[in-house]
Amino acid sequence: MIGIYGKPILFMMIKLSIVLCIGISEVPDRVYGLALCRGDAGANKCQECHAGVARDAAERCPGNKGATIFYEFCHLRYSDQDFFGSSTGTEYYMSNAENASDAPTFERLLGDPLDNLTIRAVSSERRFATGRVDFSNLQKIYALVQCTRDLAPEICDVCLRGEIGYTPEFCKSKKGARVTGGSCYLQYEVDPFFNISAATDPLPPPPPPVLRHTSPPPAGTPAAGDTKNSSILIVAITVVLTVSLASMATIWICIRRKRRTKIIETLKLATMNFSDQNKLGEGGFGVVYKGVLADRQLIAVKRVVTSSGQGIGELMNEVALVAKLQHRNLVRLMGYCLQAQEKLLVYEYLPNKNLDRLLFGIARGLLYLHEDSRPKIVHRDLKASNILLDEGVKPKIADFGLARLFGNEQSYGNTDRIAGTHGYMAPEYVMQGQISTKSDVYSFGVLLLEIVTGKRCAGYYGSDPPTDFISYIWRHWEEGNPIQLLDRGIYEGCSAEEVLRRIHIGLLCVQRDPLERPSMSLVVVMLSSHSTSLLTISPFQCSTSTSEDPGVTSRPTGIPSRPLPLINDASAINSDITTLEPR
């Protein structure tokens, strides 16, 4: 549902039990709203629940342009940003105080039902499924999963499996738990908590029976034998249909499970069981391995590490985004596999490893994200190690775990969770949590200056006193001797004028005021055309995002109590960039 702020949108939602979208054009402010009842809730309970949640939203969030409120049988969400079709939102975990008597068995028995329910929910138009499994002779486990109906099947699958993946960490060994996110929900208990009759998907009606009579009975008087035969035939057809559908569902679930197991075994074989010999790199929440399939096709497999408590949320974000993006300067996602034990992403293999040298085509990839993609995307973690080169040395942007979606008409946003790599983050983002396409422009400027100078942004340079990377470059530029900054390997192959032009563009991109920075479309023009006049750099307006530990990469927690891991980047110890040779 789309409405206008100030209008009674919350009370319009009371009557909804499904997602309803109504477009309103030419309005200054829009609100996107979603109201959903649990799949087993009846009409009266649904209406009563949404009446309460709407009142709560009006009382507890007055004037707010976004809120998510959960009740037992319904939830309501609204925002000034378009969230339809994406699995965005923070997950909340609630668990029972009591632990299961046999925790290992309980967790083992819980995994398969949740996996099966996810498969059923994804394939159902209602995006809803329930089930139970015997825990002991006297106890059962009851479970329920549901997605909002605006989610495509693959996004619903990613959303639910993400929540399932976090459950062992935050609800370990508990007899019951609820996991609630903006777009999907799961719950399990040892006692029945859902309406079994309402939760069961109705079977399709049986086809009308075809009866043959040797001699038709008189009009208006049914033959007793025919009536009996008709009843028997209807019962028989119903039983056959029920058994057939149940058998087909069981076979389909088994095939899906075997297929996933086969995929994992194939990837283990391709990567030599994820051996260190095949390791290409390691990031904040996963390790990337080189793999060779049976047909000799090279792949890159990212194996997500969930022990840190961070990987699932970013994995969901990356799958949902990269699967939809197609551009020559963006890395291509070939597939993914989400199991309780293994969470893998499969990418095209790019043999030239990470970008640490000359690269300017990446600007076209950013331009696509900012202006041509729908919705537009801010990457938030652009840096040398997140840009890969193919065999033709064509750059491709990778790692969309921190990417932020923006509405087509939205120019900026805010966050209270700062995530990214120190040295590449724009000052307004670090200090005030402001996010915009100009945040990526700043990161691109830092990257460009790294390329030209051959130095990393995470170091301190000069003396009397030592300064940070951006200030060091600005000081040389202001003193009129930027030639001293140039990387000798680049300077020998290019004219001084060309490289100085690159420094000028880089300094334009890292100005403190985001309004002074050029857009990526202008950056592309300035890089590709030597006849284009460059803008004047505002004096004393260059700044950098500093950190006590320049080698630390921060990522969003998803849950406030989760600690941020410190990722030590061994390559940041040396300030000079070493030349990398392709494998």
Binding-site residue ranges for ATP = 302
Alpha helices by DSSP H, 61-147: 103-123
Q: Are 332 and 400 in contact (CB under 8 A)?
A: no
List the one residue out of 363, 408, 368 whose CA is nearest residue 382.
363
DSSP state of 187: E
**What is the enclosing helix (H) or strand (E) of 145?**
strand 140-147
List the catalytic residue out of 157, 381, 399, 468.
381
List the one residue out of 250, 246, 247, 269 whose CA is nearest residue 258.
250
Cα gap 304→316, rounded to integer Å = 11
Residue 186 tokens read as 């799961």
Cα gap 229→248, rounded to integer Å = 28
| Backbone CA torsion sign across 486, 494, 582, 379 | positive
Cross-strand pairs, 302: 288, 345
Cross-strand pairs, 298: 292
Cβ partners under 8 Å of residue 49, min gap 6: 37, 41, 71, 72, 73, 74
Q: Are 90 and 165 in contact (CB under 8 A)?
A: no
Please count the CA atoms within 13 angstroms of the CA of 532 that sit on its side-chain side.
15
- Known binding positions: 302
Active site residue 80: no
List the one residue out of 262, 285, 333 whose CA is nearest residue 162.
285
Q: Are 283 and 311 in contact (CB under 8 A)?
A: no
Residue 187 tokens read as 């719950």
Tokens 């699958």 label which residue?
157
CA distances from 400 to 313, 372, 381 (A): 11, 17, 8
Q: Which residue numbers are catalytic? A: 381
